[in-house]
Structure 1
Amino acid sequence: MTEPPFVSRGRLKKHQQYFQSVPKPTYLKGRYDKITSVAIPLALAASSMFLVGRGVYNMSLGIGKKE
Protein backbone atom coordinates (compact mmCIF):
# COMPACT_ATOMS: atom_id res chain seq x y z
CA MET A 1 0.00 0.00 0.00
CA THR A 2 1.48 3.32 -1.02
CA GLU A 3 0.29 6.74 -0.01
CA PRO A 4 0.35 9.82 -2.25
CA PRO A 5 3.34 12.14 -1.91
CA PHE A 6 2.98 15.17 0.33
CA VAL A 7 4.55 17.47 -2.28
CA SER A 8 5.00 16.79 -5.97
CA ARG A 9 8.46 15.65 -7.05
CA GLY A 10 9.01 18.67 -9.29
CA ARG A 11 8.21 21.12 -6.52
CA LEU A 12 10.37 19.19 -4.05
CA LYS A 13 13.30 19.18 -6.49
CA LYS A 14 12.87 22.94 -7.04
CA HIS A 15 12.95 23.57 -3.27
CA GLN A 16 16.01 21.34 -2.85
CA GLN A 17 17.89 23.18 -5.60
CA TYR A 18 16.99 26.53 -4.04
CA PHE A 19 18.14 25.57 -0.55
CA GLN A 20 21.36 24.00 -1.83
CA SER A 21 22.27 27.01 -3.98
CA VAL A 22 21.73 29.83 -1.46
CA PRO A 23 25.12 30.89 0.02
CA LYS A 24 23.77 31.46 3.55
CA PRO A 25 23.91 29.33 6.70
CA THR A 26 21.33 26.57 6.77
CA TYR A 27 19.28 28.15 9.55
CA LEU A 28 18.76 31.40 7.57
CA LYS A 29 17.68 29.99 4.22
CA GLY A 30 13.90 30.31 4.56
CA ARG A 31 11.78 33.38 4.04
CA TYR A 32 10.96 34.08 7.70
CA ASP A 33 13.97 32.40 9.32
CA LYS A 34 15.66 35.72 10.08
CA ILE A 35 12.73 36.64 12.31
CA THR A 36 12.86 33.43 14.33
CA SER A 37 16.65 33.05 14.41
CA VAL A 38 17.74 36.65 14.92
CA ALA A 39 14.97 39.11 15.79
CA ILE A 40 13.17 37.18 18.53
CA PRO A 41 16.34 36.25 20.48
CA LEU A 42 17.61 39.83 20.22
CA ALA A 43 14.28 41.17 21.48
CA LEU A 44 14.30 38.73 24.41
CA ALA A 45 17.89 39.63 25.29
CA ALA A 46 17.19 43.37 25.11
CA SER A 47 14.07 43.16 27.26
CA SER A 48 15.79 40.97 29.86
CA MET A 49 18.77 43.34 30.05
CA PHE A 50 16.36 46.27 30.53
CA LEU A 51 14.51 44.47 33.32
CA VAL A 52 17.74 43.45 35.07
CA GLY A 53 19.06 47.02 34.84
CA ARG A 54 15.81 48.40 36.21
CA GLY A 55 15.88 45.92 39.09
CA VAL A 56 19.46 46.82 40.01
CA TYR A 57 18.61 50.53 39.85
CA ASN A 58 15.54 50.10 42.07
CA MET A 59 17.48 47.99 44.60
CA SER A 60 20.34 50.47 44.78
CA LEU A 61 17.95 53.36 45.53
CA GLY A 62 15.52 51.37 47.67
CA ILE A 63 12.56 52.01 45.40
CA GLY A 64 9.55 49.72 45.71
CA LYS A 65 10.37 48.18 49.09
CA LYS A 66 7.58 46.62 51.09
CA GLU A 67 7.30 48.06 54.57
Structure 2
Amino acid sequence: MSEPPFRAREKILEKQKYFQHIQKHTYLKGPYDKVTSVAIPIALAASSLYMIGRGIYNMSHGIGKKE
Protein backbone atom coordinates (compact mmCIF):
# COMPACT_ATOMS: atom_id res chain seq x y z
CA MET A 1 0.00 0.00 0.00
CA SER A 2 1.28 3.38 -0.93
CA GLU A 3 -0.23 6.73 -0.05
CA PRO A 4 -0.52 9.61 -2.48
CA PRO A 5 1.93 12.42 -1.69
CA PHE A 6 0.71 15.21 0.57
CA ARG A 7 2.10 17.83 -1.79
CA ALA A 8 3.53 17.68 -5.30
CA ARG A 9 7.27 17.05 -5.48
CA GLU A 10 7.82 20.08 -7.74
CA LYS A 11 6.17 22.36 -5.20
CA ILE A 12 8.34 20.96 -2.41
CA LEU A 13 11.53 21.47 -4.43
CA GLU A 14 10.46 25.02 -5.25
CA LYS A 15 9.91 25.82 -1.54
CA GLN A 16 13.24 24.20 -0.59
CA LYS A 17 15.12 26.32 -3.13
CA TYR A 18 13.39 29.45 -1.84
CA PHE A 19 14.26 28.79 1.80
CA GLN A 20 17.82 27.61 1.13
CA HIS A 21 18.90 30.59 -0.96
CA ILE A 22 17.30 33.45 0.92
CA GLN A 23 19.73 35.77 2.72
CA LYS A 24 17.71 36.58 5.84
CA HIS A 25 17.62 35.41 9.41
CA THR A 26 16.07 32.01 10.00
CA TYR A 27 13.03 33.40 11.82
CA LEU A 28 12.21 35.89 9.02
CA LYS A 29 12.22 33.54 6.03
CA GLY A 30 8.49 33.25 5.37
CA PRO A 31 6.37 35.92 3.72
CA TYR A 32 4.41 36.78 6.90
CA ASP A 33 7.14 36.19 9.48
CA LYS A 34 7.89 39.90 9.85
CA VAL A 35 4.39 40.41 11.20
CA THR A 36 4.59 37.65 13.79
CA SER A 37 8.24 38.11 14.79
CA VAL A 38 8.55 41.89 14.71
CA ALA A 39 5.28 43.82 14.52
CA ILE A 40 3.26 41.97 17.16
CA PRO A 41 5.98 42.13 19.88
CA ILE A 42 6.57 45.83 19.14
CA ALA A 43 2.82 46.52 19.39
CA LEU A 44 2.59 44.63 22.71
CA ALA A 45 5.59 46.47 24.13
CA ALA A 46 4.25 49.86 23.02
CA SER A 47 0.80 49.25 24.50
CA SER A 48 2.25 48.01 27.80
CA LEU A 49 4.54 51.05 28.05
CA TYR A 50 1.56 53.32 27.37
CA MET A 51 -0.50 51.65 30.11
CA ILE A 52 2.39 51.83 32.60
CA GLY A 53 2.87 55.52 31.82
CA ARG A 54 -0.83 56.22 32.19
CA GLY A 55 -0.89 54.39 35.52
CA ILE A 56 2.06 56.37 36.86
CA TYR A 57 0.45 59.63 35.71
CA ASN A 58 -2.87 58.74 37.35
CA MET A 59 -1.15 57.76 40.62
CA SER A 60 0.92 60.93 40.73
CA HIS A 61 -2.14 63.14 40.16
CA GLY A 62 -4.55 61.13 42.34
CA ILE A 63 -6.92 60.27 39.49
CA GLY A 64 -9.23 57.28 39.89
CA LYS A 65 -8.86 56.76 43.63
CA LYS A 66 -11.51 54.86 45.53
CA GLU A 67 -13.01 56.75 48.44
TM-score band, normalised by the shorter chain? Answer: over 0.9
Instruction: Tell me how far apart the structure 2 counterparts of residues 35 and 60 of structure 1 sit (CA, whole Å).
Output: 36
Q: Secondary structure at the match of 2:12?
A: helix
Count of residue pairs the alignment pairs up: 67
* Residue 65 (structure 2) aligns with: 65
TM-score by structure 2 length?
0.94
User: 1:2, CA displacement in angstroms?
Assistant: 2.6
Match in the other structure for 1:38? 38
Segments of 5+ residues of structure 1 without an aligned counterpart are none
Q: Which residue of 2 aligns with 1:3?
A: 3
Identity of counterpart residues, as a percentage? 66
TM score, norm. by length of structure 1 = 0.94
Partner of 2:28: 28
* AA aligned opposite 1:42: I
SS at match of 1:23: coil
For structure 2, the 5+ residue unaligned runs are none
